[in-house]
Amino acid sequence: MELVKHFNNLLTDTVNLPNWRLDQLGQRVDTLYGRLSNDAVLGDLVTDKTPQGSWAHRTIIKPQPDLEYDADVLIHMKENEAWANEKSKYLDAFDATFGAAGYHDREKKTRCVRVIYANDCHVDLVPYVMTQDGYHIINAETGRWEDTNPGGFTEWMRERDEITNGNFRKVIRLMKFLRDHRTSFTDVPSIILVTMMGNRVNKWVPYSDPKAYENVPRTLVTIVESLDAWLQANPVRPSIEDPSSRGTTFDHRWKKDTTYSELRDCVHVVAQEMGVALAATNYQVSLEKWQAILGDGFKGDAPTESTTNPFAPAAGGSSVSHSGRGG
């Protein structure tokens, strides 16, 4: 059975990041951006900011208890020609700015500076530099520019959502939740999971199966079964190309060699389980099978999402503590 209401409740109560947390994220990013745009060194270079990744694609989910969700932000910048041979200086300058502002819980990464809000989220701030050849991000390990097309990937996501009647993003959230809930393929990066699933969306499928993308459960089963068929046809890990940048792959994102085989095996089992749950004609049987896959949050009661933000900033605006967790 489809049990659409149960899926909506699971998404609302268990999977989706609540709106107040998204609002809090926006406030934090505004504060971080303000630090950069008002900095004596960076102020004249910083021009804008753009959400990237799961924040831009609306696929962020609640983190597991005591873990953080991540949000990526591109910081648009003019090129500093004095740093042409030392591109890591963009990251050094970001790090110095946040250090001076009291954000002690932070990390300088290969392509970003990460500001950490413990047990809640971390924000990756990526220098996105305009050169004569267009915008680039920095790889501090190689000292070279890297091409990226965040707008193109967002458009690709939008197309998948349109084909599936607005269900694709919800299905992505469910699969990310399943990845964490079952802890079976946790090493698969979200960008790779999203790309593989998006590549299984086919605008011609509804012509042969008009209900394929009719609602969340049918879209979920349609995509996961198609993903399973593709994975089984590829016993050796194939290259995963960035759909928004021809010739660019996400192959370097795999964390270990066994991750692909773990994903392949898990999806094979899950696809069968989901197919059985959807095909069940008895309500209790279907409910129990879906709950075995998705957990006790899969239920028919009314959603109970709280609209209260227990971490709302005090009147007068946000502040930065000595631990760097303000904003």
pLDDT tens digits, 43-98: 999 999 999 989 999 999 998 888 889 999 999 999 999 999 999 999 999 999 99
Q: What is the CATH number of the domain that holds 197?
A: 1.10.1410
- In this prediction, residues 203-215 reach a mean pLDDT of 97
Lowest mean pLDDT among 142-156, 221-235, 268-282: 142-156
Q: Are residues 109 and 186 in the same domain?
A: no
* C-alpha distances out from residue 192 to 41, 106, 172, 252, 324, Å: 36, 26, 11, 10, 31
Instruction: Count the alpha carbons within 13 Å of 84 in the hemisphere toward its beta carbon.
Output: 4
- Percent of the chain scoring above 70 in pLDDT: 92
Tokens of 160: 């998948």
Q: Could you tell me if 114 and 196 lie in one domain?
A: no
Count the domains in the chain. Answer: 2
The reply to whether 157 and 283 lie within a common domain is yes
Rounded Cα distance between 230 and 85, Å, is 44
Tell whether 158 and 143 lie within a shared domain.
Answer: no
Same-domain status, 169 and 105: no
The answer as to whether 325 is a domain residue is no
Q: Of the residues 127, 148, 169, which one is the last residue of a structural domain?
A: 148
The mean pLDDT value for 2-14 works out to: 96
Asked whether residue 250 is domain-assigned, the answer is: yes
189 is in which domain, residue-wise? 4-13+152-294
Distance of alpha carbon 117 from alpha carbon 134, whole angstroms? 32
Q: What is the largest CA-CA distance in the chain?
A: 69
- Classify 312 as helix, strand or coil: coil
- In this prediction, residue 311 carries a pLDDT of 43
183 occurs within a structural domain? yes
Q: What is the CATH number of the domain that holds 36?
A: 3.30.460.90
Instruction: At 170, list the tokens.
Output: 């919800």
Domain match, 170 and 232 both: yes
Give the residue among 192, 195, 182 at the shortest CA–CA distance from 259. 192
- Residue 178 is assigned to a structural domain of this protein: yes
Domain presence at residue 304: no
Of the residues 124, 148, 172, the one at which a domain ends: 148
Name the nearest CA neighbour of 254 among 242, 236, 237, 233.
237
- Quickly count: other Cβ atoms within 10 Å of residue 212's Cβ: 21
- Contact, 171 vs 114, CB < 8 A? no
Is position 306 within any domain?
no
Task: Tell me phi and psi for residue 218, to 5 degrees.
Answer: -70, -40
End-to-end CA, the chain:
45
Over 60: is that where the pLDDT of 297 sits?
A: yes
**Amino acid occupying residue 150:** P
Residue (of 66, 58, 173, 53) closest to 124 by Cα position: 53
Q: Are residues 256 and 277 in the same domain?
A: yes
Pairing of strands 134-139, 121-131: antiparallel
Cα distances (angstroms) measured from residue 16 to each of 12, 109, 120, 185: 6, 27, 14, 20
Higher pLDDT, 305 or 99: 99
- Please check whether residue 144 is in contact with residue 87, taking contact to mean a CB–CB distance below 8 angstroms: yes
Helix axes 168-182, 150-163, angle to 10 degrees: 100
Of 84, 118, 148, the domain-final residue: 148
Whether 216 and 168 have beta carbons less than 8 Å apart is answered as no
- In Å, how far from its chain's centre is CA 254? 15
Q: Is residue 158 part of a domain?
A: yes
Same-domain pairing of 63 and 193: no
For the chain, give the mean pLDDT: 90
Residue 320 lies in a domain: no
316 pLDDT higher than 80: no
Amino acid (1-letter code) at residue 148: T
Are residues 206 and 232 located together in one domain of the fold? Answer: yes
Are 289 and 156 in a shared domain? yes
My answer on whether 199 and 264 are in the same domain is yes
The answer on 111 and 23 residing in a single domain is yes
Altogether, the residues listed in the chain come to a count of 327
* Helix extents (H) in the chain: 4-10, 19-37, 53-57, 89-100, 150-163, 168-182, 190-198, 205-208, 216-232, 259-279, 283-294
